[in-house]
Chain A
Amino acid sequence: MLQRSRSSGGYVFYPRVAEPRTGNRDLEWVAASGDGIVHATTVVRRKPPEPAFNVALVQLAEGPRMMSRVEGVAPGEVRIGMAVKARIASADGKPLVVFDAQP
């Protein structure tokens, strides 16, 4: 789900009480497509044997950008411009949005 301003049609992420720039307070919750494009990516290295992992900024099809990670490929194989699809995973018992690389 994403917030959207009824008057401007602009999407907002992270959730807040007003739309950035316009200050519009008429935000409603709408379903998100789950489609995104990798905008920036890094491989976080840790002391072995802890595995390296990916963190990416994903540009959502609706416009906003969010931080997440890309799964389904090795952390170092995540490429900027890659099409990705959101999925609800879980981490530490809580739901978490991650993205799967699209063929």
Chain B
Amino acid sequence: MSQDKFPRGKTAIVASATYGMGEAPGLSSMDLAVSASLRALASAGLKPGDVDGLFIGLPDDFLSGLTFAEYLGITPQVTDNNRTGGSAFLTHCMWAALALEAGQCDVALVAYGSNQRSAAGGLVSAMRPSPYEAPYKLPRPVGAYALATSRYMHEYGLKREQLGAVAIAARQWAQLNPDAFLREPLGMHEYLASRLVSDPLSVRDCCLVTDGAAAIVMTRADRAKSLAQRPVYILGNAASTHHRDITSMPDLTTTAAAISGPRAMAQAGVTPKDIDVVEVYDAFTINTLLFLEDLGFCRKGEAGAFVEGGRIAPGGELPVNTNGGGLSCVHPGMYGLFTIVEAVQQLQGTAGARQVKDAKLALAHGNGGELSSQATMVLGTEETL
């Protein structure tokens, strides 16, 4: 690895927005992404024509950067459709920070939208099926995450109640979030009685299928202060990928977050114990456990015990997925950008009933594919610069 020159604190998020959370019938994925983008730009006093760096990935349009530019009549100098699954938006922010710092653009927009619930009623996927795996009819992605969970249980003795603690904590946070899709109480008895989909994962271990859109706007730090009341600075941002299909995952119990996380935190000059609020891509309950370990919040094999007793729930020592996560808030197919939006809201102090008191440092983490592609961001308030 060459010398890591990530521009710590040199760029900031000046606006964030969501749109069409839950169900948004009658709108295309692009309509939703544009709506979230306009809402974010307006909140920073910016117009579409100010955007000269565009980062986007839609479920149903491989040329979505081109379509978006056409739709809004803008002419970005940097256009990036990078697709690494749900982690893509955190890598978009990494490239946006580098492009801003290098003067390749001045206003970067990162956008996402999906109408999968209203349009398809199921996960919209442009995945290419492997001819060596398709005949075995593994339901994807849930079956892949179930295989990883089975291995984790074998190696570390995980109990279903510990997966349940993840689902219940997410639901408790969602109950504090008016934008969350599932807000009715979830108890352990109900969790354990929920229908198995792919053992050991049940429906309550799986993310939602919703519509929804999100957008953030980034500028260099010197301009950010005039655009946002409380800019949120990007202190570190790193990614790593080590496979695509679960069969080729080198170790089913350790993700590439063990690479991206320590790199992002080293860039930021922080350690896990400094982080006030954690937003990880919880496509399935096992994700939260694996990422807490791989990002260094607890040791390998100990996340099941770590999440017991409400430690990651409202009022716990470590607030995790404070919007309700992909499990209970929103999951339009690629959730990554929502981890950033929630981190920004927490650091701006605008998270309402779910606000984490005095939050200064947040970690957002995206996951793509089948635990395949990982990207980590460390974000901070002005005091952390």
Contacts and interface: CB of A to CB of B under 8 A. Distances in A.
B197 interface: yes
B148 interface: yes
B147 A40 contact: yes
A65 interface: yes
Contacts of A14: 130, 132
Interface residues of A, number: 25
Nearest to B145: A42
Contacts of A45: 195-199
Contacts of B136: 55, 67-69
B139 interface: yes
Contacts of B198: 42-45, 55
A81 B159 CA distance: 19
Nearest to B146: A42
A57 B246 contact: yes
A80 B154 contact: yes
A44 B138 contact: yes
Contact of A44 (B143, B148, B247, B248): B143
Contacts of B146: 42
Given A55-B143, A69-B136, A41 B150 contact: yes
Interface string B242-276: 00011110001000000000000000000000000
B135 A91 contact: yes
Contact of A66 (B139, B147, B196, B247): B247
B133 interface: yes
Nearest to A43: B199
Contacts of A39: 151, 252
A62 to B, nearest CB: 15
A38 to B, nearest CB: 9
Contacts of A44: 137-139, 143, 197-198
A43 B147 contact: no
Nearest to A96: B135
Nearest to B202: A45
A32 to B, nearest CB: 14
A42 B143 contact: yes
Interface in B149-185: 150-151, 154
A63 interface: no
Contacts of A80: 150-151, 154
Interface in B222-257: 245-248, 252
Interface in B97-153: 130, 132-133, 135-139, 143, 146-148, 150-151
Contacts of A96: 135
A41 B246 CA distance: 12
B154 to A, nearest CB: 4
Contacts of B247: 57, 65-67
Interface in A86-103: 91-92, 94, 96
Contacts of A55: 136-138, 143, 147, 198
B149 to A, nearest CB: 8
A76 B200 CA distance: 10
Nearest to A39: B151
Contacts of B200: 42
Contacts of B139: 44
A14 B130 CA distance: 10
Contacts of A68: 136
A1 B246 CA distance: 22
Interface in B194-216: 195-200
12 contacts: A13-B132, A14-B132, A40-B151, A42-B146, A43-B199, A53-B137, A55-B136, A57-B247, A67-B138, A67-B245, A69-B136, A96-B135
Given A65-B247, A91-B135, 19 more contacts: A13-B132, A14-B130, A39-B252, A40-B147, A40-B148, A41-B147, A41-B150, A42-B143, A42-B198, A42-B199, A43-B196, A45-B197, A55-B136, A55-B137, A55-B143, A66-B132, A67-B138, A80-B150, A81-B154
Nearest 10 Cβ contacts at the A-B interface: A42-B146, A40-B147, A43-B199, A80-B154, A40-B151, A55-B138, A14-B132, A67-B133, A42-B198, A40-B150
Interface of B: 130, 132-133, 135-139, 143, 146-148, 150-151, 154, 195-200, 245-248, 252
